[in-house]
Each structure stands twice: as C-alpha cells, then as structure tokens.
Amino acid sequence: MKIALAQQNYHIGNFAFNRNKIIEGINWAKQQNADLVVFSELCICGYPPRDFLEFDNFINGCYESIDIIKQHADNIGVLIGSPARNNQKEGKNLFNAAFLLYEKEIKAEIHKTLLPNYDVFDEYRYFEPAFEWNIMKFKGKKLAVTICEDIWNMGDNPLYRITPMEKLIVHEPDVLINLSASPFNLGQDVVRNSIIKAHALKYQKPMLYCNAVGAQTEIIFDGGSLVYNSNGNKISELSYFEEAYQVFDLDELSQKEITTEKNKSKYYYSSKEIEIGESRLAYLANEKNIAEIRKAIVLGIRDYFSKMNFTKATLGASGGIDSAVTQALAVEALGKENVMAVLMPSEFSSSHSVTDAEQLCTNLDCNFENISIKNIFGSFLTTLNPLFEKLPFGLAEENLQARTRGNLLMSIANKFGFILLNTSNKSELATGYGTLYGDMAGGLSVLGDLYKTQIYALAKMINNETEIIPNNILLKDPSAELRPNQKDSDSLPEYSILDTILFEYIELRKAPSEIIAKGFEKELVNKIINLVNTSEYKRNQFCPILRVSNKSFGTGRRMPIVGQYFS
C-alpha cells in the first residue's frame, strides 16, 4: 500500500478554499498511484476555528465540504480532519474527528480523545472526548488513526489518564497515522521527532504524522510532517514553513530489522525536557533557532495579510533595532513595494536615528515619509499648559510624543488602507516599557514574542550576506529618545540580565525565590517581576502577537489584571 502525506496551508472558515486545496492534494496523490492520502487535523475548516464551532451553520458547512470531497475519493482513500456531531445526548455537541473517505462514501469515523486545554489550546471548550477506540480497515490493512494530542501522553508524568494508542494497539494495527495541527515554537521539532520515534519503537509499527503548515493570526504551523519506520528510523521529514507532499510504501516501512541499543533513544514528553545548555539566552539566540524564527515570522506576516485580504503595511521607523528588524522582515514577507516606513523625529531625536532610518529604507529600496512631530507636540503642550501649569517635564510628556506618533501612523493607515505593524519586543511588553495608544498601537505584533537579545541575533542574521540594517543601529545604545540623553538602561537592567530573569519567570514559571536562588540580585528580581505583573493591563489591550515561544503573551498566557501574587 502506498500512503501519501499532504501538508497544506488552510484558511479558517474558508470552506471553498480548503476543499479545493484538499481536492488538489487528492488529485496529486492519484497521479502518484497512492492508495491513501492523509491530510491534517481539522483541515476541512482550518485550525483553530474557536467559537465558529458554536454556529450550527459552520458545522453544516463542514459536512457539505465532506460531501463534495468524497466524490473525489473514488479509487483512493482519503483521511481528513473535521468537526463531527455528537449524536449522543451526553457530553458536548461536537467531536474533533477524522473521516476515512473511499468509494465516494464515508467508510469510518474516529474521534480525538485527548483535548488540550492549556497554552493556546482550548479544545475541551468545544469538543467531547472519544467514547470508544477503533481501528480503520482499508484495503486489507488496519489503520490506527489518532489526532494530534492523542499521541502526546507519554513519559514519566503523563498529562492524561487515558493513552489512546494503548487502546488501539490491542487491535494489532499495521500502521500508526496521526493527523495533526501542532504549532511552531522553539524546540518543537525536536519534541515531535522524539514522540514519533518513541511510538515507532514502542509499538514496532511504522508511523506517519501529517502536520499543518501556515499561520492563523498569531499561531504559526511549521509543517515538518514525519515518517518513521517500524524500527524507529526516520524515513522522511517534510519541509518546514511551506506546503509539501510525499508518498511512502507501507511494505517498505514495515520491514523489520534487529533492534539495537543505538536506535533505542530517549523520547521527550514536552519542550520543558529539552536540554538547552548552560545558557538559556544562548539557546534562545542560537543560529538554528533564529533561522527558524525568521522563517516563522515571515510566514506569519505573509499569511496574516493574504488571509485578511490586506496588501500594504506601514510602521514607525525610529532608527532603532526593533523597527529596523520589523521593516526588514515585512519587506521580505510582502515585498518592498508594499511597505512604507514613517520617520517621525522630535526635538529629542538624535541626528543619527534619522539618518540610520533613512539608510535602512535606502538599503531595502523601501518607500518612506519623514514627518516631524515637533510642532504637533508643542501644540499639545500649549493646550495642556493651563492644566499642567509649572509641573516638571515627565512621563506624561514622554508618552504624549509616543501617542502623537501613534495617531499619525493610524491616520496614514486609515487613509491609504495600510495595516500598522507594531514593533514592540517581548522584553518591553513584559516590563510595561511602552505607551498604550502610542508605540503599542498596531494591527499585528511582529516581534512581541522575541526578547531583545533575540532581536539583535536576528538583525545579525539578516545582515549575514550584506549590510541591510545599518551597523550603527546594532552598535548604539537602545533608547526611546523621549527626553534628552535617554537610554533604555536608565529604566531597565542590561538586556542580557533582564531577558534571563524574564525567561525564568514567564517561560519556566519560576517564583522570585527560585530565580534569586540562581544568583540574581533580590531587589532586581522583585522589581522586574513587579513590573511584569503590574503591566498586565497594558498587554490585555495589545494586538495579536506572532507566537514563536512556548509561552507567548496573549491567549497562551492568561493572567489576572487585578492580583497581588508575587507583587
């Protein structure tokens, strides 16, 4: 039997687009003489559909697409993912399901058991876990079909009480197949490989794993579909961050070899178990991870614009590292003709900030406008003077400049149909080092899940072949330039220290006492964590952030705004 994997990029709720893509995949598999073609989790509607699932019309649309697709499943088997109605009175109204289509009929239907309800996942909000566990029979073979999380209940500390594969393996299947929508984050490729390899070794069965690719708002799916043979050897790893197709011969995958200690490798249950070396910052900013982040962000920008029918982007170009990296990635994703930078110098802007920003635009061959905010800012101060009287220059005046820039950018975006790209980084968002309705404005956050140290590493990678980002931007001290001689280090510790403490608290969920025990100054740790906690109200109003870590701000990290824990 020949089995094809179709790793595709879907559009949530766009039934016609998704089913046409699936039909294209079926036709491709037919041309390769495949007997069965496998698609990814919830490919019919796109993942994650969230509250669309609460509309009966949406579920009708899923079934209508299945009816159309099954007409193409005449002489080939088709495995697709879709919501399915629960006909029993007990439980929620829907299952997360996989359908086997063949001979223009639905031949089998299985349901997902393990419904993740952590981080960006909220499947138990919508779906009922499987009531039973059955294999699918197809052309004389027994298929053990699972859906994404169903294969992740492994290791010494399993998250769930039921392991679906243990229920299926008693039926002595010939092959293990998993339909998945597993998002990208650093190290996830290592985890996935370990999980698939562990299944192949444990059950001595070949395993085919089909993952989704493409960005859905903030969540980015990286593909990297996998095939391991019954001896636990990797046969194929499909492309990352792009669509891909491949056919495999089940008989070849099932050939047994003598198992040796060499291929009995450790598997990992979660990304928490990945060994990241002595320095966490070195891991976050190493070349492999930064290269993956770059591809992920470019895909995230491109899909956000294409799936929302947007074409052009604008951003505030300050001459700093964050806006420079954002602009370079936007040009890479959308094309230079679709990105316009806006320089908005004030009386506190250094001359090199303006020239650096202009040089970047020249290097990228990108359109830009230079609009001074000096007179607008002065007009605001004159208007507010009777109220402010002789109070000293302070935070209000600094934020007023940022909000002036935010107003200008949003006006330009409204006038010309641009989408404003936000340029804030994770270090700033964590500590509240940003102005609501000012530099925190935007339709999409490009760098909001990247620490400052990662952004410097990304800038250096962008400059690998030629100097795109002016070297002066990488070398000068970071500054918001909202008052004379201002530097980020006036308000925050050095980023190498700050980012390490933030990573321990945000990603690893370490308490202040645990971080202090690692050698960090008590007063500094308490100050930083207090900044993180008291800035929650700002992040709650922030735009979607492209997710590249396993604990990003937004739906992946849900903290109360009003609370006193660790504050």
Residue pLDDT, tens place only, 330-368: 999 999 999 999 999 988 877 788 999 999 999 999 999
Largest CA distance in the chain: 87
Contacts of 403 (CB under 8 A, 6+ apart): 435, 437, 438
Amino acid code (one letter) for 167: K
Tokens describing residue 112: 């997902």
Burial class (CB in 10 A: 0-12, 13-18, 19+), 33: exposed
501-525 pLDDT per residue, tens: 999 999 999 999 999 999 999 999 9
What whole-number distance in Å separates Cα of residue 211 and Cα of residue 536?
33
Nearest alpha-carbon partner for 116 in 81, 52, 159: 159
280-488: which CATH number, 3.50.30.50, 3.40.50.620, 3.40.50.11390, 3.40.50.2300? 3.40.50.620
Tokens describing residue 382: 């004159």
DSSP letter, residue 485? T
Q: What is the mean pLDDT of residues 397-401?
A: 94
Residue 312 has pLDDT above 60, yes or no: yes
Helix segments in 272-341, DSSP class H: 280-284, 287-307, 321-334
pLDDT at 322: 97
Which residues sit opposite 211 in a β-bridge? 180
Residue 263 has pLDDT above 50, yes or no: no
pLDDT at 221: 98
Identify the residue whose tokens are 């073979």: 141
Residue 10 has pLDDT above 90, yes or no: yes
In the chain, where the domains are located? 2-273, 280-488
Of the listed ranges 160-164, 270-274, 316-320, 548-552, the one predicted with least confidence = 270-274
Residue 276 has pLDDT above 50, yes or no: no
SS3 313: strand
C-alpha distances in angstroms, 53 versus 93, 219, 353, 478? 10, 18, 48, 45
Half-sphere exposure of 102 (CA within 13 A, CB side): 16
Amino acid code (one letter) for 212: A
pLDDT at 157: 83
What whole-number distance in Å separates Cα of residue 11 and Cα of residue 304?
10
SS3 337: helix
8 Å CB contact between 539 and 555: no
Identify the residue whose tokens are 């949530």: 12
pLDDT at 270: 40
| Element housing 248 (H / E) | strand 244-249
Beta-strand pair 77-85/94-102: antiparallel
**pLDDT band of 315, cuts 50, 70, 90:** very high
Q: What is the mean pLDDT of residues 551-559?
A: 94
422-474 pLDDT per residue, tens: 999 999 999 999 999 999 999 999 999 999 999 999 999 999 989 999 999 99
SS3 177: strand
Of the listed ranges 181-190, 482-491, 528-537, the one predicted with least confidence = 482-491
What whole-number distance in Å separates Cα of residue 113 and Cα of residue 115?
6
Identify the residue whose tokens are 């500094």: 524
Q: Any idea which fold 2-273 has?
A: Nitrilase/N-carbamoyl-D-aminoacid amidohydrolase (3.60.110)
**pLDDT band of 269, cuts 50, 70, 90:** very low
Greater model confidence, 181 or 481:
181
**pLDDT band of 282, cuts 50, 70, 90:** confident
Tokens describing residue 343: 């320089």
Mean pLDDT (the chain, rounded): 93
Tokens describing residue 349: 């802007």
Nearest alpha-carbon partner for 481 in 352, 367, 346, 357: 346
Q: What is the mean pLDDT of residues 65-71?
A: 98
97-156 pLDDT per residue, tens: 999 999 999 999 999 999 999 999 999 999 999 999 999 999 999 999 999 999 999 888
pLDDT at 258: 55
What share of the chain has pLDDT > 70, as a percent? 95
Helix segments in 318-394, DSSP class H: 321-334, 351-364, 374-388
Residue 274 has pLDDT above 60, yes or no: no
Greater model confidence, 5 or 263:
5
Q: Which residues are catalytic?
A: 41, 112, 148
pLDDT at 476: 87
**pLDDT band of 262, cuts 50, 70, 90:** very low
Tokens describing residue 172: 């002595």
pLDDT at 261: 40
DSSP letter, residue 146? E
Instruction: Give the torsion sign (CA, 238, 240, 241, 242).
Output: negative
What whole-number distance in Å separates Cα of residue 3 and Cα of residue 249?
6
SS3 322: helix
Residue 491 has pLDDT above 80, yes or no: no
8 Å CB contact between 229 and 253: yes
Q: What is the mean pLDDT of residues 203-212?
A: 98
Burial class (CB in 10 A: 0-12, 13-18, 19+), 40: buried
Q: What is the mean pLDDT of residues 401-416?
A: 97
pLDDT at 277: 35
What share of the chain has pLDDT > 90, as a percent? 87
